[in-house]
Amino acid sequence: MEEDCPLSLKMSNNKSLYIVLITLVATLGGLLFGYDTAVISGAEGSLQTYFADSLNLSSLVHGITVSSALIGCIIGGLLSGYFSTRIGRKYSLVLSAVLFLFSAVGSAFPEFLFFQQGEPSIALLITFNLYRIIGGIGVGLASAVAPMYIGEIAPPHLRGRLVSLNQFAVIFGMLVVYFVNWGIARGQSTEWVNDIGWRYMFLSEAIPALLFLVFLFTVPETPRYLISKKQDDKAMNILTKLNDQTMAKATMYEIKNSFDAQKGKLFSFGKKIIVIGVLLSIFQQFVGINVALYYAPRIFESMGAARDASMFQTIVMGLVNVVFTVVAIVTVDKFGRKPLLIIGSIGMAVGMFGVAGMAFANVIGIGTLIFIIIYTASFMMSWGPVVWVLLAEIFPNKIRGQAVALAVAAQWAANYFISSTYPMMMEYSGGLTYSFYGLMSVLSALFVWKLVPETKGRSLEELEMILVRGRKEGRRKHG
């Protein structure tokens, strides 16, 4: 027995390492998600000069251009259910990698084949937006499928941390692109950045996109998808690589039962769980996080920072984001999902109402930066990673692809609405704009407290059984 223990421990460690390596490959989708959504922060001012100002277009048109990738994110989110169910989780991620790569090159050189470089026009602006939308479709797919993939691979006691790693990758991708944008713009003239520099910012995304595409061919499909397609032998082979033999057989039995128990229609398990998933996604965006991420350099410039300095301050904000996402990774499987969300909502409300107060008082300075950091830190330790954990957990096996697709599409639609209306709202009143995001933070806390279930430490199939029992009990109470 004494000789067997080290071997057993070694096998367990090997399986854990295998799970972590698979997760790291999947999180490259999260990294590209963050990279693609934040690359616009460095290029946003140049795009306004290159397109909106030279063509005499309104701030609304510029807002739509900055947020155009989000149209693709909505499309990608909606399509994620179809692709993840038809071609699988793995090949949906492969498709997203291809879209990222195509968009990176196209956004950098939208003139390719059809236009003369250096001559902006409405047609060129539309073409640029189409390339950004294509990248957005990749983001929408990756944002839905990467957490789903990790959630279906991960054991229950590690699932919160491993899915949260995807959000860490999102934030790390943002931090990387903040460094890249700052490095490209540093020491260069404003004219060079407005003409050439922004192109290099978009083109730089091709490197992680290519790595993601290559590494995806080294990971397996998820057992739950394979079982849904009656490929039980392949599923069992992967389960034994992820678990010991006894646990693999037990997990196989649970998964097969879950697919046999209910029909695969979206509302087979009731409407409440779908509504909770959609509202989690909407609140994650209505608190205003992407305003802080997309327009960070402009916010810091309004505080009196020079362009180089404002981009450097986004790096400081990115470092804060990384640190507090690590806090979420460490605590999500210990404290649970609900406490983190409620604490985060309170912190976000303090941060946004603080920024609003400074705006009403027309005082812009270090205090504004502190409140923004309080706000983003609170989001990154809670609503940033934990929503993705919950979306990977709360939906039953048979409807997970469809339900996650709906929730993610709602999330990106909310993101698009908030991001595209921000310039127009700020023209009306900065104080009222930030007060709105603060109010949404308060409402998000009340929503979690009243409606969101705790999912810590349970298998996906166990959560499904709790949901089924709760629905049956609800029916009995109502006759």
pLDDT, tens digit, 9 for 90 and up, residues 95-134: 999 999 999 999 999 988 888 877 888 999 999 999 999 9
86 Cβ contact list (under 8 Å, min separation 6): none
C-alpha separations of 74 from 77, 199, 275, 388 in Å: 5, 25, 18, 16
What's the longest Cα–Cα distance across the chain?
A: 79
pLDDT, tens digit, 9 for 90 and up, residues 179-213: 898 899 888 888 898 889 999 999 999 999 999 99
Compute the radius of gyration of the chain from its Cα atoms. 23
C-alpha separations of 48 from 119, 285, 308 in Å: 14, 24, 17
pLDDT, tens digit, 9 for 90 and up, residues 33-69: 889 877 887 888 888 888 888 888 887 788 788 878 8
Is the CATH code 1.20.120.1200 the one for domain 14-219+262-477?
A: no
User: Residue 293 carries which side chain, given as an amino acid letter?
Assistant: L
Domain residue extents for the chain? 14-219+262-477, 225-260
Model's pTM, two decimal places? 0.77
Q: Which two tokens stand for residue 70?
A: 């989000």
Label residue 85 exposed, middle or buried (CB < 10 Å: 0-12, 13-18, 19+): buried
* Whole-number Å distance between alpha carbons of 408 and 289: 16
3-state helix, strand, coil in the chain (%, to 5): 85, 0, 15
Per the rule left: phi > 0, alpha: psi between -120 and 50, beta: everything else, 109 is: beta
